[in-house]
Each structure stands twice: as structure tokens, then as C-alpha cells.
Chain A
Amino acid sequence: MSEMQGVLVIGGGIAGMQASLDLADQGFTVYLVERNPSIGGRMAQLDKTFPTLDCASCIMTPKMVDVGRHPNIKMLIYSEITKISRAGKKFKVKVLRKPRYVDETKCIGCGICAQHCPIEIPNEFDEGLGLRKAVYVPFPQAVPLIYTIDKDNCIECGLCEKVCGAEAVDPNQEPEEVELEVGAIIVATGYNLFDSRKKEEYGYGIYDNVITGLELERLLSASGPTGGHVLRPSDGKIPKKVAFLQCVGSRDEKVGNQYCSRVCCMYATKEAELVKEHVPGTETTIFYMDIRAFGKGYEEFYIRAEKEFGIKYVKGRVAEILEDTASKNLLIRAENIESGELIEEEVDMVILCAGLVPALTDEMRKILPLPIDDYGFITTAHPKIDPVSTSLKGVFTAGVAEGPKDIPDTVAQASAAAMKASIVAKG
């Protein structure tokens, strides 16, 4: 038997983590490269997950810990790929470890530095709704639990260095380049949210009380910026009427995205349920084109939302949203296709169920020329019978990087990519 080769996994969301675990459990050495300070990806930002309403971090944290302590997984976190070249059947990979300005081997994650840091800036993990310090961990369950100094915002006051009992702060840390040799690569770079500003008629970024579904997840989360209270950004009041708009940036040729984002119907349904659970009596309406409750247990979840939770579903696309400048309430103009009526409804808050767009960047594609479709999702070798291989030999893909999908489908595809990579890397 020839020697087992290592595998590079790019992206530490649920897809990258699952692929890493399946390979590492088989005995392969896995290099997991994540550009953010922690693994976890988007799932870490979610409050609860449809259709079981499992709390996302409760089911995800043990998985993150498993990845973190697996003897066969070498984590290269807060790192970026700078070069990939072929060497025979193998790949030579250069990874840049960005300086955290905190010594990974010394930091114990106690958080005393952050307590003393005087700088506060919007926290990306909370979609900008909460604040974090210039020295920070993105969220308390981060893996690895190591603080990072955000040099762009740091004023170099030196307080963190003074208070750190572990003497872990190192303002002079340099970027470090690591070279790897691997037999296979899995690309699991996931997604970003569609930029709702492009739908000008909905006023996102202009009207305070128009937010995205991902922002709502942070508001719903007990460990989020509002401690789990859904409050209007304009005045901190609890909204009594909330409207959800489906297909924002999906199934929309005007913005150039014809595809369906596959998760929004269900996440809107879930979020509407959670909003009602937090404040019973809240009126919730979902404006939709088609309800796509296709996964296991999804139809049942949707029916329950409508029948038991009294969530109102209106078939119709919203034409525009106007703001009442005094109350900051929002006026929704839409057509109810079922009744043929024009609707004008005033609500306290609007949630834009923005679609998923690929996070794969042009820079990454210069390093690895992955084939993509019109929207930037990675194309596979055959859409039916080879749905995780790419046309680049030895390179596989999983998760939303390949196309929008929910967590179970992401996890299954990640295991499938791990299988394909194991066949190539077994030597």
C-alpha cells in the first residue's frame, strides 16, 4: 500500500468541518484553512434551525470541539491560501497565517484583554448589530478560543498587553507562510448574503427597521446583541407587526439571480415562529412566490406554522416599501395574487429574506481556477452523477460553495466530498 496523502479543506463552515472529520476519522491528515478567526461559518450565526428548532450552537459546538481536538486535523485558522501548484499527482499549497498579534500557544482565551480594550466597533458576527472590542473572539464558543487584535481598529494603547497574565499579546507578530503538500483539495467556501441594497425599492440601509433574515437570527439569539429580544433598530421597541419578504435577490432576473436560494422559505417560517414565541401575539406575514418546503419534515413544519402559529402567508411580490418618517413604521405595497387585491399594510418591522450568493472570490479563482456557473457557484463534473467532483482533477466541492442548500444537504455533500477525496488521497 502506498502512503496516504494529506487533504486540504478550504473553509471551516459546517461543510468544511464535516469533510475534515470524515477524512480525519479515516486516518488522513487534514489541513483545514479558514480565513476568519474561528471555524463555524454561517451556521454559528444562526439561532435555531428548522425544522427541529435545535439550537444551532448547541448542536454545532461539540462538532467544532471535535474538529479542534482531532489529532489528524491541523487547523490553519485566520489564514489564507496564497498559492496552489500541481506537483505530479500532488498539490503544493502555500498558506499565509495572518498575524493575530496574540501568541496562539500562550493565549488561554480568558478575555481579560477584551475587558480592558477601550475600542468598540460593530461586530461582524452580529451582522454589525452589536459591538466588539479591537481585541476579540467573534463569539464565546469560538474554536480555537484565541483572541485576535484587529489592527485596523487598534489604537495601540498597550492596555491589553499590560493586563494579559499569560503574556500572550505580541504586537510585533509577523505573518507566517506555511507550505503543505496534499493529494486532494475540498473547496467549501460557503456563502454571503445577497446585498439587499440592490433592491432599492425595499429601502434596506435607508430605513432603520428593514433588516435581513441573518440580522434577525442575531436578534433572536440569546447570546446576541439584544440578549434574544427582537427590538426595532430605530427605537428599541418590540415590534407588534412583522413582515417577511421572500426571494430578495433570488428568482429575480432584475438582479441577475434566476436561481432559488433553497433555504429562505424555511428560514422565514422558522424566524416568524420564533418571533411569535418570543412575543406571543406578534402579527407575522410572509410574502412569497411559492412555498418551497421540500425537505424532510419541512412541509409538516410549514403547515404547523400556518395552522398552529397563525403565521399569515400571502402569495405576492412586494412592489415597494415606504417609511413613515415620524414613526419609522413601514408601508408595504404588494399585490395579493390569490385575491387579486392590492395591499397596503403598515408594519413595525420588515425582514428581507435575502438569498445566498457565493463567497468564492476572484482572487481564490486565480489561485485555483475553479469552474463556476453564471452566478459564481462552483460547477461540478456532472450535475447528476458526479455532483462533488470539479473538472480539476483531485479538487472537490461541498456545501453552499456549490449551490444554495440547507444544513442536512450540506453535511451530506461534505461527507460525499470527503469520500471522493479519500479515494484520490489514499495513494
Chain B
Amino acid sequence: MPKEEEPRIGVYICHCGINIAATVDVEEVAKYAEKLPNVVVAKHYVYVCSSPGQSMIKDDIEEHKLNRVIVASCSPTMHEPTFRKVVAEAGLNPYLFEMANIREQCSWVHPKEPQKATEKAKDLIKMAVAKSRLLERLQVKEAGVTLRALIIGAGISGMRSALDLADRGFEVHLIEKAPSIGGRMAQLDELYPTSEYALDVLKPIMDAVTSHPKIKLFTNSELEALDGFIGNFKAKIRVKPRYVTNECNACGKCETVCPIEVSNDFDFGLSKRKAVYLPFTVAMPRTYVIDYENCNKCGKCIEVCERGAIDLKEKPMKMEVDVGTIIVATGHDLYEPPKGEYGYKVYDNIITMPQLERLLDENGPTQGQLQFKGSTPKSVVFISCVGSRQEPGIYQPIEKDQQLNRYCSRVCCTATFQNVLSIKKKYPDTRIYYLYRDIRSFGKGHEEYYRKASESGVLFLKYKPEVPPVVSSDQKGLLVTVEDILTNNETIAIPADLVVLNVGMIPRNDASDIQTKLRISRGADGFFQEAHAKLRPLETPLDGIYLAGTTQGPKDITESTIMGSAAAAKAAIPLARGKVEVEPTVASVNEDICKGCGRCEEVCEYGAIKVEETGPFDRVPMLVAKVTEAQCKGCGSCSVVCPNGAITMRHFTKEQIKAMVRAATGG
């Protein structure tokens, strides 16, 4: 269609059953529309979206040589795609279709004023006609897809995503920051609600990940930068040196001779490890690693290593990989109570629940003996919701600028029952008290587990957040005082040999690094934010980047696994299709007017517009803004801030919008 060709518009007014027609006088509106400039036909019909309705449009395009179509009906989110397809099937460019919303924006909101609603419907159609006359044809472009996924984080959720995508037939690059895969699950003892030993469950998965031919694993590695868009990302990855090569057979001789001892993070400081170490018993890869910062470079390990596997001169390695989709599975950190919260770090014998898991673990620092500072506690008090459900105004922060976590951490209640059962199994005479706010054992089999724990003899005391338990100490030991709701607010003092603080999950302290590199957003709770709380729990607002596991919020292993598979399903879609469609309704820059000031780049949330050097003209390089169309969401922010009016939003051009405003205001 040459540009100067006269618009020939068809207008179709939908009754939507009675949804529109009961309020808006559709016949009157059709008569009105027929008289608007360039309108060739105007009809009303009971359901324009039904197949007879669609045929009517197609026939009219043919018969009346229409080159523009307007449907006045519901919100475009519903049926714009339907009608674009209809006009395309009749040979028109789909972007020559326009919609007027006379349902959500008219009949549904003015059911009691049919006359005024009818007038409003007329105005909305008049505006659509004004825009329609200026519509331009646009082409949907297609971009290819690199058939490979990148997964960041190899905890239970990231490993699940990797295995599923690989089993589906796609290549996977899995990068893990730590020297071993496994994540936090490796630090647990027995798991609720089956009482299986965590490593027994975890190890086969770690083995499968390591041996899968389609998974390329990079441990000790981090994402350095990311560029590109869905289907066509470029990831820069930095592999940190391990200082121990693949030659290592994990014989452990180096460790024995290493003179350096540092606190072991894996055991939350409950043990020491050497500067050359294996992260944990079943670490994968089974290769030692040197903690370079703490190593004194004495060279003893080099001497004893029969395989010559130690290389203190190893350099970091950088690589760049092309990937089509990305899954973020970077997990969580654990709340570290500030000194003084329930006596933490003030009195001895106060630990966190993750530390308790380490003590109960047969492969842990005490070989599974519940021993703390040399003795076995006879009385253990668990305190719930430490670092979770911290309500401003109720929770009394210990530190001035303490970040309050208002959310529930979801796993602690049932994890407590697991630990209660483990302790009772090993030490049946231990007296156990659970000081809680609400019991949240909501998952499958959890309530039954709660009962099992109750039957094992644990005493439940419910406290109010306004009056939290107080931990003090006298010469005999610790004393926990609590106002118990279940006994009509009686104040009860419990002598305790060990107090366990059920600390919650918090966002990782390095989450902002991933956030800026990927341009994904975080919620008020600090966890990564999904695209829609109800229906898009796995997607981020950025196409091609998905979330799995506790990186999105507290979850247990079951839920992290589900999300791992689910994120894999999302990541598999572009890979299976092999192409992505690029919407043409995006920003476009008039390079003649653009001064390269960069305001657009600053406001773009999607990294879709960047100032680049162009030219050189007369040897002077010029700066202009360039749009990566596949990354642009068409939000229009850049166009608004551009001081020179150099940026046009296709399909929502200034001329089109001005024409609509003029139509609406009668100008």
C-alpha cells in the first residue's frame, strides 16, 4: 500500500453478548461511526470475536477494499492478537488493525448511565478512527536462538533446572560460585518430612550433574557481565583459580601438612579447616581447593602432593559464552542474629538452627554427637521466627539500622520438628521446648510430622511478638523466660543447656551484583521479583531470564525442586522453537536529530537503548542512541525524556496520539 493511498476503514462494534449491548446503544454507535472520515463500513455484531464475526471482517476487507480495521469491543490484552491474525489472514498488515475498548473502559464502568456510555463509546471510536488513519505497516522480525541455557547457581534448584534441560536435549552451562556444587542442602542433616539424610538424597543428583554429557559445569565461577537479549545473550564468565588442578585425587595429604587453620564456613564456624581443603565430604568436583587469602604459601602441600596437582600460580580464566536463555538459581543466605538478640554471642550455648544441623550431622564437626562446648545438653529450647516476621513497631531491633524481614521463612517450623525428632532419637531423655508464634507446617505430610514431634514429648509454648522470650543467664546456666499464651499468659522460666535460634532465610548478600548484571528487580523483601505474583512466578520482567528456588523467596527443597523444573520449562520454550519474535512496536531513533545526550539510556530499565559512536563524519565521531529492538518493551520512557524529540514509539507516534487527543477534545 503506497503511503498516500486513502485510508478505507471498517469499524466493527461488538455487543459482547449483553456485556456491551445492554448499556451501549450499539446500533446508534454504528450509525455514528459510519459517518466518520474514511470509514467505509460500520457494523455491529453480537460477538465479533466468534468465527462468524471474524469471517464478516475478512469478507468486508475483500468486498469493500478495506485497508484499516477497527474493532470496538474489549481490552486489547484479550483479543488484539486474535484480530491482528484475522486481518493478516485477509492480506492486510496486522498493525493496520486498531482496537477501541468500549467494555472495560465504558459499558462495565457505566452500567447505570447508558446514554452517557453510548456517547463515550462514540468518542472512543472517533479517537480510534483518528489514529487508524495514521497507522503504518510494521513488520514482526524474527531472531535466531542460541540453543544453550545458562544456569547461575548449583544448589538443588539450579541442578534440577540443569538436569531437566539437559535431559530434554539442550546444552547447559552451569556456573557455581563455590568450589563445590550442592548449595545449602549439603549443610543439612536429616530432611523433613521423610527423615532421609540430606547427602544421601543430594549425592545422586550431584553425580548426575557432573556426569551428564550435555552439562558443562564451572565451579568457582561467576558471571562477570551479560549482554544481549532473549535467544541471544552473551555471558562473560570468570573462573577463579582453584590452585589445585584436575590431577588431584583427593587423597588429602596436602590437608594434613597444611599449617594454617581457619574457621570453617561450611560448619558455620563450629569447626576449623585448613587453607587447602575439600569443601565437604562428598564435594563435587572431588578436587581440593586452596583458600589463597589465608594460605601462607609455605609450599608444604606442593611437597607432599604425589600427582603434582598444586599450582599456586594458576590464573583466573575468562570465557565468553553465547546462550539463549538464563535461569537464576542463586539461593539464599541465613539470617545472622545481631549480637544480643536472644543472648546470641553474649552467652555461651546459644546457636542457630543451621549450626544445630551441622552438630547433628554424622559427617559434621562432632560426628553427629549433640555436643556443644564439651557437654551434651539435657534441656534444649528452640525459639521460632528469629529474623522472620519482624514487624516494624512490634519487633524491637537490636541495631539501629537493622533491616527488618517481615516475611515468614516457610521452612523453619517443620525443620524444627525434624531436629526435635533427630535429637529425641539420639537422646530420648532430652527435654525439648518449642517457643513459637504460629505452627506453620502446611506442606504435604508436614502436619503428620508435627504430630509425630508432639508425640515425642516436645513442649509447645506460644509467645506473642509483642512479648518475645527473654534469654538470661545465672550461675546454673541459661534461663529462657516466656509468657505462654497456651497457659493463659503464665510466665514460665525454662532452664536451658542449649538455645537454638530458628533463623530465617534472607536474600544473598551479593544479590545486588546479579541484579545489576542481569537488570532484574528485587521486591521489598530483597528477594528477586517474579513478573506476576500469581500467574508468572518463574519469569522476570526480562524475556529469557527466569528464576528458580530460594532466590525468589524462602522455600523448602520440594518447592525449590518444583521451581527448578518449572524454570527449565520456561527456558526450554525459546530453545525448542529455535527462534524468537521481535515486536515492532518499539522505540526508534531519528539519528539526524539525536544529540547523543544519553538521557534515554539512563531511564531505560531494559538496557535496550545505548549511546554509541557513529560516523566518523568529517573525522568527528558522533554520538547517537541506538535501540536493540529485541530488548525494547515499547514502554516509551526514552521518548518522554528525549529533549530533542528524536525518539518515536512505533504504533504510538506523537502524530497518532495528537490525532486521538484532537478527536477526543473535538479539536
Contacts and interface: CB of A to CB of B under 8 A. Distances in A.
Interface string B84-114: 0000000000000000000000000000000
B573 A26 contact: yes
Nearest to B394: A303
A384 interface: yes
12 contacts: A26-B572, A109-B17, A290-B440, A292-B438, A297-B525, A297-B533, A299-B389, A383-B193, A414-B566, A416-B563, A419-B566, A422-B572
Interface of B: 17-19, 46-47, 50-53, 77-79, 81-82, 156, 160, 164, 167-169, 191, 193-194, 196, 201, 205, 389, 391, 406-408, 410, 438-448, 451, 485-486, 488-489, 523, 525, 527, 532-538, 552-553, 557-559, 561-570, 572-573, 576-577
Max chain A Cβ within 10 angstroms of own Cβ: one of B561, B566, B567: B566
A291 B438 contact: yes
B296 to A, nearest CB: 41
Interface stretch (A80-88, A256-264, A278-286, A361-369): A256-264
B347 to A, nearest CB: 29
Contact of A108 (B46, B523, B533): B46
B380 to A, nearest CB: 22
Contact of B577 (A27, A54, A300): A27
Nearest to B448: A258
B391 A296 contact: no
Contact of A415 (B46, B77, B410, B569): B569
Most buried by A among B19, B81, B486, B535: B535
Contacts of A262: 442-443
A403 B444 contact: yes
A130 to B, nearest CB: 16
Interface of A: 14, 18, 22, 25-27, 49, 51-52, 54, 59-63, 65, 69, 108-111, 140, 145, 166, 251, 258-260, 262, 290-300, 303, 315, 337-340, 373, 377, 383-388, 402-403, 407-409, 411-420, 422-423, 426
A408 B537 contact: yes
A416 B566 contact: yes
B408 A299 contact: yes
A145 B576 CA distance: 31
A152 to B, nearest CB: 25
Contact of A377 (B444, B533, B553): B444
A300 B573 contact: no
A54 B51 contact: no
Contact of A408 (B533, B561, B568, B573): B533
A291 B462 CA distance: 13
Contact of A145 (B50, B164, B196): B50
Given A108-B52, A407-B535, A259 B444 contact: yes
B552 to A, nearest CB: 7
Given A111-B17, A260-B442, A385-B561, A166 B408 contact: no
A26 B164 contact: no
B486 A337 contact: yes
Given A65-B79, A411-B534, A423-B168, A299 B47 contact: no
B558 A293 contact: no
Contact of B569 (A166, A385, A422): A422
Contacts of A54: 533-534
Across the A-B interface, give the 6 residue pairs with the lowest CB-CB distance, nearest first. A415-B566, A416-B565, A419-B569, A290-B438, A340-B488, A26-B576
Contact of A110 (B17, B451, B527): B17
A416 B569 contact: yes
Contacts of B168: 419, 422-423, 426
Which of A52, A299, A409 has the largest number of chain B CB atoms within 10 A? A299
| Most chain B CB within a 10 A radius of its CB, from A18, A300, A417 | A300
Contact of B408 (A18, A27, A293, A340): A293
A123 B523 CA distance: 41
A300 B537 CA distance: 18
Contact of B82 (A25, A69, A259): A69
B537 to A, nearest CB: 4
Contacts of A22: 569-570, 573
A426 B169 contact: yes
A386 B532 CA distance: 26
A55 B18 CA distance: 21
Nearest to B537: A408
A14 B577 CA distance: 24
A412 B406 contact: no
Given A14-B535, A65-B79, A416-B565, 10 more contacts: A25-B576, A25-B577, A69-B81, A110-B47, A258-B447, A262-B442, A295-B410, A387-B562, A415-B566, A419-B569
Contact of B447 (A27, A110, A260): A260
Contacts of B533: 51-52, 54, 296-297, 408
Contacts of B561: 384-387, 416
A145 B79 CA distance: 14
A63 B558 CA distance: 26
A109 B406 contact: no
Contacts of B566: 412-416, 419
Most chain A CB neighbours (cut-off 10 Å) among B79, B194, B391, B438: B438
B449 to A, nearest CB: 10
A386 B572 CA distance: 19
Contacts of B534: 49, 52, 54, 59, 407-408, 411
A296 B553 contact: yes
A166 B52 contact: yes
Contacts of A338: 485, 489
Contacts of A339: 488
B78 A61 contact: yes
A295 B552 CA distance: 11
A79 B538 CA distance: 31
A373 B448 CA distance: 12
Given A383-B445, A384-B194, A415-B538, A409 B559 contact: yes
A384 B169 CA distance: 24
Contacts of A108: 46-47, 50-53
Given A52-B533, A54-B534, A109-B17, A294 B573 contact: no
A290 B488 CA distance: 16
A318 to B, nearest CB: 18
Given A166-B52, A412-B563, A258 B576 contact: no
Contact of B78 (A26, A65, A291, A384): A65
Contact of B565 (A109, A373, A420): A420
B488 A412 contact: no
Contact of A303 (B193, B406, B439, B538): B406
A14 B523 CA distance: 25
B565 A388 contact: yes
Contacts of A419: 164, 168, 565-566, 568-569, 572
B26 to A, nearest CB: 13
A138 B51 CA distance: 21
Given A292-B440, A294-B408, A145 B47 contact: yes
A62 B78 contact: yes
Contacts of A290: 438-440
A242 B654 CA distance: 53
Nearest to B108: A222
Contacts of A403: 443-444
A408 B563 CA distance: 11
Contacts of B451: 258
A344 B56 CA distance: 65
Contacts of B81: 69
Contacts of A258: 447-448, 451
B438 to A, nearest CB: 4
Nearest to B85: A69
A417 B191 CA distance: 23
A63 to B, nearest CB: 7
B97 to A, nearest CB: 16
Given A59-B534, A293-B408, A338-B485, A418 B17 contact: no
Contacts of A384: 191, 194, 196, 201, 557-558, 561
